Structure 1
Amino acid sequence: MISLTKQERINQLLVQDDTHWFVRWWIWMAGLVATVVVGYMAPTWLPFVLAISYFPYLCLEWRKTKLLLTFNESRRYTRWVYMGFVFEWIGFVAILSLFAFYHAGVVSIQVLLALIVSLIVFSILTPRWLDRFILMFDDDHVTAKVLSKAKEQRNTEHKTSQ
């Protein structure tokens, strides 16, 4: 069974992050342009554009999930890493469904907003809970917090070296 150290995992995740910054930037720009154009041309479709612009981030999250799966071949680790992506996908489908229900007149704006806020809270808390759970059986698992600190440290070192 291959199991990389925490630092090796962090390094690989940072390399992947470096290769995807350009894609993330263009996704953000395309989403912004699409939002402005659709918001001007057909404002009723604006919620769908906002939800659809999240899809490319799901693709990047899938690539991160595939990289995480190479760190530890344990069935338990694999199952819980997949679970993290499944929760992301469920959130995406739920938001699209909520907008469709609102557009069809099934739910009111108050219900829509309450459910979206609930989904946002769920999407923030679930990855943290999963990271903590995975850390219980894989001490070298890289949490989002650790990766953020590594990115910040790398950026600080880069700025001071210039």
Structure 2
Amino acid sequence: MTKKVSILLNVLLGAIAGLLTGVIVMLLWMHTQMIPPMLLMVVLDQMKVYEVVGQAYGVSENVIIYIGHFFTAAVLGILFSLIFQKLVKNLWRGVWLGAVFGMVWWLITPFYLMPLFFSISPNYRWSDATIGEVVNSIISHLVFGILVGFFYAVFKRFLKT
């Protein structure tokens, strides 16, 4: 297998792992209401992005939210696969690296990405958040990371890449 094909296959595995994880996380959230929506989605909702895009394309806000959710899940899966391709050698390593990945995203999003892209201070979400919301956010990022790592490791093992 050439290096270019290997990279493309790796990106595809990451995207599939991210999308599958996105489906599971969404189902968990819909069923339990315990996993909070992604902070990015909350900010975009407050900025009325869904409303404007929905009206421009004639679709409901929920469709835009689902597209955003799954796009983000796929991108994070691809990012995981590109960062950890050589380190994921077995299922447990995939799970542990996934947990680390989830926690890194839990830290990066409010303290770096939101201020960078939306000029929102890191205290935006945390100042009015209850301890339960913070714990749910940590758990949801851990679950997402663990599932991405798990699925990526399973797919990688199945294809023996």
Please give the TM-score of this superposition, normalised by the length of structure 1.
0.32
